[in-house]
Amino acid sequence: MLDAKVSELLNNQINKEFYSAYFYLDMSNYYEEQGLSGFANWFKIQAQEERDHAMLFMTYLQNNGGKVTFDTIDAPNKEYKEFIEPLKETLNHERYVTSLIHTIYDAAYSVKDFRTMQFLDWFVKEQGEEEKNADDIIKKFTLFGSDAKGLYSLDTEMGARVYVAPTLAI
């Protein structure tokens, strides 16, 4: 049986991951409107990954006797004035998600829930990659994004991202 607090945090995380998907789809829509279809593609795939994360938390909870309760997903609907803004928001958001994962890990650790800790290990590593990816894109945009040719190249590169299903098996 899962500890009540751990179970609650895992359930909340489903909502946070679906929100993340919404958040990134909103960014994808913004870039699509701006004519940067490569950036739009990158964020659409990012959203797919977040949806996968939500499903992983849901399956883990169900497989371990927890109850899944859906809450309202907040609307992102942000207004962006500059191309770099969503990139910076992405890094901030991923840092926030890292803190959420660490909070669940901490709760599992405190009750010696080794199974949940092992499940979360994948997410701890994944968050490291998410933060690095976001940081890399900001750096590239800062270097090349202000020039039209550089922006075009970057958009082409972002457009080459393909969806890869998560490697985590529950």
Contact between 44 and Fe ion per CB under 5 A: no
Sign of the CA dihedral with 35 first, then 85, 46, and 62 last: negative
* Rounded Cα distance, 83 and 38, in Å: 13
Q: Do 40 and 32 contact (CB within 8 A), yes or no?
A: yes
* Rounded Cα distance, 115 and 108, in Å: 9
Residues in binding contact with Fe ion, number by CB under 5 A: 2
Q: Which C-beta is closer to Fe ion: that of 50 or that of 155? A: 50
Q: Which C-beta is closer to Fe ion: that of 7 or that of 46? A: 46
Q: Which C-beta is closer to Fe ion: that of 17 or that of 155? A: 17
Distance of CA 162 to the CA centre of its chain: 16
Residues between 140 and 159 with contacts to Fe ion, criterion CB under 5 A: none
Classify residue 73 by its DSSP letter. P
Most distant CA pair in the chain: distance in Å?
57
Instruction: Name the one range near Fe ion by CB under 5 A: 5-13, 42-50, 77-85, 141-149.
Output: 42-50
Q: Which C-beta is closer to Fe ion: that of 24 or that of 31? A: 24
Least Å from the CB of residue 123 to Fe ion? 7
The size of the chain, in residues, is: 170
Q: Which C-beta is closer to Fe ion: that of 41 or that of 53? A: 53
Letters for 46-85 (x = contact with Fe ion by CB under 5 A, - = none) are ----x--x--------------------------------
Nearest partner of 59 among 95, 14, 123, 121, judged by Cα: 14
Least Å from the CB of residue 74 to Fe ion? 15
The burial class, CB within 10 Å (0-12 / 13-18 / 19+), for 114 is exposed
Residue nearest Fe ion (C-beta atom): 53
Q: Which residues bind Fe ion (CB under 5 A)?
A: 50, 53
